[in-house]
Structure 1
Amino acid sequence: MSIRRKQDSMMMYGLCLMGLIVLVTLIGPYLVQNDPHIARMDERLLPPSWNYPLGTDHLGRCLFSRLVEGAQITLGISMLVIVTVAVIGVPLGLISGYVGGRLDAVMMRLVDGVGALPEFILAIAIAGFLGPTLLNMMLSILLVKWIGYARVVRSIVLSEKEKEYVLAARVAGSSTWTILWRHLLPQIMSPVIVLAALDVGKIILTISSLSYLGLGAQPPAPEWGAMLNDGRPYFQTVPTLMLYPGIAIMVVVISCNLIGEGLRDRLDVRNRF
Structure 2
Amino acid sequence: MRQQVTAAVWRLALAAALVCGIGLLPWLTRTDPALTVLKARSAERDPSPEVLAAVRDQLGLDAGPPHLLGQWLGGLMRGDAGRSWISGTEVLPGVLQALGASLLLMGVALAVAVLTAGAVCARTLRLGARRRLGGRRRGGTGAAVLAALPEFLVASVLATVVGVQLGWLPALGWYGPQYTLLPALALGLPAGAVLGRLLDDLLPGAFGEPWAVAAAARGLPGRHIARQAVRRCVPALLPNFGLFVVGLTGGAVAVEQIFDIPGLGRTTLQAALAQDLPVLQAGTLALLLLAAAATGATRLAAHLLTGPALRDGALSTLHRPAPPTRNVLPYVLGAVLLVVIVLGLTRDPLALQTGERLRAPSPAHPFGTDALGRDLLARVGHGALDTLLLALSITVAALLVGVLLGLLPRLSGPLVDTVNAVPPVLLALLVTAVAGSGTATPALAVTAVAWAPLAAHTSSLLRQERATLHVLATRGIGAGRWYLLRRELLPAVLPPVVRHALLRLPGVALALASLGFLGLGAQPPSPEWGLLLAENQPYAERAPWAVLAPAVVLALLGALAVTAAGAAGRTRRRRTRQAAATAAEREPVGAR
TM range (shorter): 0.7 to 0.9
How many Å apart are 1:84 and its aligned residue?
Answer: 0.4
- 3-state SS, counterpart of residue 215 of structure 1: coil
The answer to whether the aligner puts 1:203 opposite 2:504 as a matched pair is: no
Alignment check: 8 A CA contact 2:361 2:545 kept: no
How many Å apart are 1:255 and its aligned residue?
Answer: 4.1
Find the partner of 2:520 among 197, 200, 215. 215
Between 219-228 and 242-251, report the one with greater CA deviation: 242-251
Q: 1:151 to 1:239 in 2, by over 3 A?
A: closer
Q: 1:8 to 1:159 in 2, by over 3 A?
A: closer
The answer to whether the aligner puts 1:81 opposite 2:211 as a matched pair is: no
- Which residue identity does 2:423 align to in structure 1? L
Q: 1:230 to 1:49 in 2, by over 3 A?
A: same
Q: What is the rounded CA distance, in whole Å, between the counterparts of 1:242 and 1:257 in structure 2? A: 23
Q: What is the rounded CA distance, in whole Å, between the counterparts of 2:555 and 2:371 in structure 1? A: 23
2:479 alignment partner in structure 1: 169
How many Å apart are 1:82 and its aligned residue?
Answer: 1.0
2:333 alignment partner in structure 1: 18
Q: What is the rounded CA distance, in whole Å, between the counterparts of 1:64 and 1:71 in structure 2? A: 11
Relative to the length of structure 1, the TM-score reads 0.75
How many Å apart are 1:36 and its aligned residue?
Answer: 0.7
Find the partner of 2:375 among 62, 66, 78. 62
Find the partner of 2:450 among 145, 155, 158. 145
- Which residue identity does 1:18 align to in structure 2? L
1:189 alignment partner in structure 2: 494
Alignment check: 8 A CA contact 2:341 2:380 kept: no
- 3-state SS, counterpart of residue 374 of structure 2: coil
Superposed, which structure 2 residues align to 1:32-181 within 5 Å? 33-94=346-407, 96-97=408-409, 104=410, 106-115=411-420, 117=421, 122-131=423-432, 132-161=437-466, 163=471, 164-165=473-474, 168-170=478-480, 180-181=485-486
Q: What is the rounded CA distance, in whole Å, between the counterparts of 1:218 and 1:165 in structure 2? A: 56
- Which residue identity does 2:380 align to in structure 1? L
How many Å apart are 1:251 and its aligned residue?
Answer: 3.1
Unaligned runs of 5+ in 1: 98-103, 269-273
Unaligned runs of 5+ in 2: 1-126, 142-326, 574-592
Q: What is the rounded CA distance, in whole Å, between the counterparts of 2:140 and 2:366 in structure 1? A: 30
Q: 1:17 to 1:75 in 2, by over 3 A?
A: farther
Q: 1:58 to 1:42 in 2, by over 3 A?
A: same
Q: 1:150 to 1:8 in 2, by over 3 A?
A: closer
Q: 1:239 to 1:15 in 2, by over 3 A?
A: same
- 3-state SS, counterpart of residue 423 of structure 2: helix
- TM-align CA RMSD: 3.3
Q: 1:158 to 1:54 in 2, by over 3 A?
A: closer
Q: 1:227 to 1:65 in 2, by over 3 A?
A: same
How many Å apart are 1:239 and its aligned residue?
Answer: 2.6
- 3-state SS, counterpart of residue 187 of structure 1: helix
Alignment check: 8 A CA contact 1:160 1:166 kept: no
Q: What is the rounded CA distance, in whole Å, between the counterparts of 2:553 and 2:519 in structure 1? A: 19
- 3-state SS, counterpart of residue 139 of structure 1: helix
Alignment check: 8 A CA contact 1:25 1:72 kept: no
Superposed, which structure 2 residues align to 1:228-247 within 5 Å? 228-247=533-552
How many Å apart are 1:49 and its aligned residue?
Answer: 4.1
Aligned residues: 249
Q: 1:5 to 1:110 in 2, by over 3 A?
A: same
Cα shift readout 1:10-35 (whole Å, capped 9, x = no counterpart): 564752553134322453246xx321
Q: What is the rounded CA distance, in whole Å, between the counterparts of 1:242 and 1:151 in structure 2? A: 34
Alignment check: 8 A CA contact 2:342 2:381 kept: no
How many Å apart are 1:83 and its aligned residue?
Answer: 0.2
Between 40-49 and 1-10, report the one with greater CA deviation: 1-10
- 3-state SS, counterpart of residue 247 of structure 1: helix
Q: What is the rounded CA distance, in whole Å, between the counterparts of 1:159 and 1:49 in structure 2? A: 55
Cα shift readout 1:39-69 (whole Å, capped 9, x = no counterpart): 3334433444444333322222211111112
Structure 1 vs Structure 2: percent identity of aligned residues?
29
- Larger gyration radius, structure 1 or structure 2: 2
Cα shift readout 1:53-109 (whole Å, capped 9, x = no counterpart): 333222222111111122333222221111000111111222x15xxxxxx2x4322
Alignment check: 8 A CA contact 2:139 2:566 kept: no
